[in-house]
Structure 1
Amino acid sequence: MRVDLFDFDLPTELIALRPAKPRDAARMLVAKGGDQPLIDAGVRDLPSFLRVGDVLVFNDTRVIPAQLEGMRGEAKIGATLHKRIDLRRWQAFIRNAKRVREGDQLVFGGGVTAIAETRHDDGSYSLCFGGDEPVEVLLERAGRMPLPPYIAGKRPTDEQDREDYQTMFAEKDGAVAAPTAALHFTPQLLAALKDAGIRSETLTLHVGAGTFLPVKVDDTDDHRMHAEWGTISEETADRLNAARAAGGRIISVGTTSLRLLESAARDDGTIMPFEGDTSIFITPGYRFKAIDGLMTNFHLPKSTLFMLVSALMGRERMQEVYAHAIANSYRFYSYGDSSLLLP
């Protein structure tokens, strides 16, 4: 499909630079299938739009401070870690990469160093970090939270982002972008959902920086997604399958959870245990197998994520949803408001 079919005009003032306080005070636009009217609601209203036996699926990845500033000799460079290779190596996108060659030593803050070992076809490098300390410790000392470019370009990262850009489910280190749909959740909201008979499960998908890369081709068939590592335990898969067999719906909280669930699902909809990389790219025409609904923020024009929600609800329906959101001043992107999509 033509990428320009997924374009729309977005006023820059609707890009949220800070999250709602408290988190569950954000707005939520509810869109159901067909021509049912759109509903302006709030995240705290979520229990009223779900049913007893439904299951919300969250991503428990934890964002690491993966943005590094440093030097290669006299040249200033930046590195955004993208994907773990092993205990000491990460794949990274390099700013000012033309000044870097294979074998160069990069010096970051706090005495942290890395060797640029291998340059990949996409322009990224494999970085091998020096010393004996775990890389996670080095990053806590030298790194910054990797805010999306549409936020970082408007204001500097600060200490508040270390809390704001992390979900309440964050447990497993490895993401360089937050599963932002879950940023809206609080212990109070989770308790209200439990009281309403709505269950929750977690999986892990370590979101990579590739999620922010623009689609540079004219046709979706020519776009290639970056791979991200994820896992679904056998116990989690069994509980999700049992819930669905009992009539409950599987509602993915965020596109990251959705992509992993769909990667793990068989054609009959059975969710299997999963561990490994996924580079699934979902566009209109895709037949969803594992999920029955999606809670997600509002995405970039011509992005792979807007293509995904268009696959779920229909492109014309999502253009209608986004036009309503813009006309009613919903806040967009990572720190923005939410939508609940129930096809």
Structure 2
Amino acid sequence: MAAPQSLLLPGLLDAEQVRATVRSILAEQRPDGAIPWFTGGHLDPWDHTEAAMALDAAGEHRAAERAYRWLAERQNPDGSWYAGYFGDGADPVDEVSNRSIETNFCAYLAVGLWHHQLATGDEQFLRQLWPTVRRALDFTVGLQLPGGPIAWRLDEDGTPVQEALLTGSASILHALRCGLAIADHLDEPQPDWELATGRLRHAVARHPERFLDKDRYSMDWYYPVLGSALRGPEALARIEADWSRFVVPGLGVRCVSDRPWVTGGESAELALALWAVGESERALTIVRWIHRQLRHQDGSYWTGYVFEDQAIWPEERTTWTAGALLLAVAALGGDPATVAVFGAAELPGGLSGDCC
């Protein structure tokens, strides 16, 4: 396994360290392609996709392809996926552990598949999975609420909630833009997605009151930037406004503003958001903190650290934490596929939603 040049950060990650982190994800991937959080643990479709994207950034394209095929083989007839698989209490015959459905989990395959296409140029695989992506985004767009947000979940009985989360909708915006890029590439126009994307982008960027109040969570702070609703001066202003509330110097990013807990996933995602708006030095600083505080000797990364207790918590090393770190490093290192997907400069923007 050769470490791509884009994943090497002098003085931080050398080739063997990169290989160790990639091996830590591969070691958790099941023979059927599934990537749970850790051995014997839970899988959700969003984090599974993030780990697969990291494998593509590392050149492990066959492993990423198996991960995407796993999703295609388990898609529900309506285009969705369940929120959880393989968790505690799952019936040995039935791998589903949580039968609710979260819309941002369903949409995120579009981000992963476009990243895979840009990383591999595998047109045949893209065409094979296009119907899966189309069904997933049709399902997601079908749950758009008045004013543009996307309902964040369906309960286990199939009832959609009439509320939206800012983080989830910002992630769906990114997925829709990647889905439109796939549609353009395959010459398969999707006008409904274009309209939904414009309305959603306007809601995320201009109407926080249309979403549930989750202001305590750092993801609601940076996801409008990471999901590409905000860029340029507006994005920088948003980052600066709550920097001191969420960032713990030397450690990382709080998951929740009023808890002494920094988490690797949120920290790596903030680094990606910073990179996307031209703040590469600050992004690199965040990555250094994660690497120093949360890296395990085998190359995996702990989920979080409670700094008041000086304790790792929870005592689990998650594939998605390692995946988020690798994607942040890949963007900083100029990996073309990762730059294109998270930079978002060339992704279709949808129709204007300014009137909504």
TM-score between both structures, scaled by the size of structure 2: 0.30
| Bigger Rg, structure 1 or 2 | 1
TM-score between both structures, scaled by the size of structure 1: 0.31
Higher helix share: 2
